[in-house]
């Protein structure tokens, strides 16, 4: 929302502290009191870890979402800007990285059966189809396709083709950078994507 043009179109590193899941809540886990989360900075209390000079550790990011941040708020900051550039014809990548259980799947997919808890991907897909439908005319048509891949332990797997394992990244003058043999499916509506 309040980002400069260069922040909207450049690489941004955004971190999200996910809310506790039901298992963690049932175990009585509490928010980490040693962690101070600000808009773009995380500070860790010096009792836990500190710099060589004895100061609290601080880490800066383009944006930080705390555990109370909703899926809609994440999408507005993260997905909204990506969509604006996508509709102008620019390529976009939203890359989720983190340890197992950190909340990557929750942020990216969420619960697709619950409007409030849908993640970034379902919201972007909905917006793509809405934009295509709104702008279709006698002189403009759209074809929408998708590919799903996973990078796990430095191997790329095609999530639409179980035979597509250990795929390779390639580069060519005509295609640019691409994943060799990654399947691509054309879709006509949101349901076909899922």
| Cα separation, 40 vs 21, whole angstroms | 24
DSSP helix/strand/coil, 147: coil
What pTM was computed for the model? 0.76
List own/partner pairs for 159-162 with CB under 8 A and 24 or more apart. 160/185
Q: What number of other Cβ atoms are within 10 A of residue 50's Cβ? A: 13
| Cα separation, 112 vs 89, whole angstroms | 27
69 touches 76 (CB < 8 A) = no
Q: Which residue would you say has higher pLDDT here, 117 or 34?
A: 117
Question: Which among 156, 141, 92 is positioned nearest to 121, based on CA atoms?
Answer: 92
| pLDDT tens per residue, range 74-110 | 998 877 778 888 888 887 788 888 888 888 888 889 9
Query: Would you state the torsion angle of the CA atoms of residues 155, 159, 165, 171, taken in this order, to the nearest 10 degrees?
Result: -70
């Amino acid at each position: 929302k309040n980002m400069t043009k260069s922040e909207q179109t450049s690489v941004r590193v955004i971190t999200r502290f996910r809310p506790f899941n039901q298992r963690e809540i049932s175990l009585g886990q509490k928010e980490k009191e040693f962690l101070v989360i600000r808009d773009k900075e995380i500070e860790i209390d010096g009792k836990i870890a500190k710099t060589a000079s004895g100061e609290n550790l601080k880490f800066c990011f383009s944006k930080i979402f705390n555990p109370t941040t909703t899926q809609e708020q994440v999408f507005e900051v993260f997905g909204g800007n990506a969509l604006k550039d996508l509709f102008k014809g620019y390529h976009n990548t939203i890359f989720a990285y983190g340890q197992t259980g950190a909340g990557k799947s929750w942020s990216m997919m969420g619960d697709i059966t619950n409007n409030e808890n849908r993640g970034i991907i379902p919201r972007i897909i909905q917006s793509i189809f809405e934009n295509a439908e709104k702008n279709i005319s006698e002189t403009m048509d759209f074809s929408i396709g998708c590919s799903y891949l996973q990078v796990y332990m430095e191997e790329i797997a095609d999530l639409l083709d179980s035979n597509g394992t250990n795929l390779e990244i390639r580069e060519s003058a005509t295609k640019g950078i691409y994943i060799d043999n990654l399947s691509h499916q054309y879709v006509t509506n949101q349901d076909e994507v899922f």
